[in-house]
Amino acid sequence: MSKLIKPDNYKSLLDMRQTEQGIKLIKDFFQTNLSTELRLTRVTAPLFVLKGLGINDDLNGVERPVTFPIKDLGDAKAEVVHSLAKWKRLTLADYAIEPGYGVYADMNAIRADEELDNLHSLYVDQWDWEAAMTREQRNLDFLKTTVRRIYSAIKRTEFLVYERYPGIKPFLPEDIYFIHSEDLLQMYPDKSAKERENLICRKFGAVFIIGIGAKLSNGEPHDGRAPDYDDWTSMNSDGRHGLNGDILIWYPVLNRAVELSSMGIRVDKEALLRQLEITGQQKRKDLYFHKKLLNGELPLSIGGGIGQSRLCMILLHKAHLGEIQASIWPEEMIDECAALGITLIN
């Protein structure tokens, strides 16, 4: 059954040609602003990595990577990346990036287990970024400052779109609101995590939810996180656990909250060991990435991913990712979109 979200009285504000021009405008402008805000250098990223090195992002730990044999390597297996969460930290070390500076890359991925709807596609494209930091910066204030800089780049890009296409009115609030996932649970104790996101985003417009991955007082995490990149167990200055989170906005076209970025301060040695134990993944300590981290060969860092197609979708006021990117969709969804005036790119 199609999971299409059906907006009321939807009409695209741009035709297909204007949409393609708008996509390029947003991508060119935003990545320049992001790199300036966070002092990032663009690097070339892999589409796939060798299986068994612990470099691929495990996301929630249940998604299956697309895997294929490499003939010239004796049929050794390669995995299409889910994201570059851990690869970027290796790159910081390889490039000897100093604290206060970082890297970003165009990440392209295939997530075969994605549940397809207006916001989720088999094809994932995002700006993956990572910045080196000092031990003293591993705190909530530094995380919030970084979030505000990213949000400022998003706001500037929204205004540029409005200047180019005056019919696309800005809707994002001036400031982003911060709340810990436990405090959000206490605010709406009888609601699911997604319902809580909708309620808080409807109220404030743009929200950063802190602490994604650790169990809350109801015994459940707000959302899943792999144990070996974001630090979701260290205590922050508010007395809550977690130095990571998600940027979400209230999107009036679909009348719901939409995540734009998952990000956070990365695990140090102590947090990695703690989170591997919590999740029962101690065997990962023998993998290439994890050994380098535990041996002190990787810098402390902060990083995340920002969806390219999703940001373009939001800033161009589109109803479906398929209006921004070419992908594969269920036939039923294609027919429903056509009936609603949603033109998908073939």
138 catalytic per annotation = no
User: Which of 89, 111, 196, 310 does the annotation list as catalytic?
Assistant: 111
Q: What is the DSSP string of 158-169?
A: HHHHHHH-TTS-
Query: How many angstroms separate the CA atoms of 2 and 152, rounded?
Result: 35
Tokens of 188: 């709406």
Query: How many angstroms separate the CA atoms of 28 and 263, rounded?
Result: 22
259 catalytic per annotation = yes
Sheet holding 67-70, edge to edge: 48-50, 76-80, 67-70
User: Which of 246, 261, 266, 310 does the annotation list as catalytic?
Assistant: 246
Which residue shows structure tokens 């990213």?
150
57 catalytic per annotation = yes
* Other Cβ atoms within 10 Å of 337 Cβ, number: 22
User: Which of 31, 83, 126, 137 does the annotation list as catalytic?
Assistant: 126
User: Which stretches of 97-217 are assigned E, i.e. beta strand?
Assistant: 102-110, 123-132, 177-180, 206-210
126 catalytic per annotation = yes
Task: Sort residue 180 into left (φ over 0), alpha (ψ -120 to 50) or beta.
Answer: beta
Q: By CB neighbour count within 10 A (0-12 exposed, 13-18 middle, 19+ buried), where does 136 fall?
A: exposed
Task: Please answer whether residues 305 and 312 qualify as being in contact, where contact means their C-beta atoms are separated by less than 8 angstroms.
Answer: no
**Which residues, including other chains, have CB under 8 Å from residue 183's CB and lie 6 or more apart?**
240
User: Which of 35, 83, 137, 262 does the annotation list as catalytic?
Assistant: 262
Query: Can you tell me whether residue 35 is helix, strand or coil?
Result: helix
Q: By CB neighbour count within 10 A (0-12 exposed, 13-18 middle, 19+ buried), where does 140 fall?
A: buried
**Which residues, including other chains, have CB under 8 Å from residue 6's CB and lie 6 or more apart?**
336, 340
User: Which of 37, 106, 259, 336 does the annotation list as catalytic?
Assistant: 259
User: Which of 31, 35, 57, 181 does the annotation list as catalytic?
Assistant: 57
Residues with a catalytic annotation lie at 57, 111, 126, 246, 259, 262
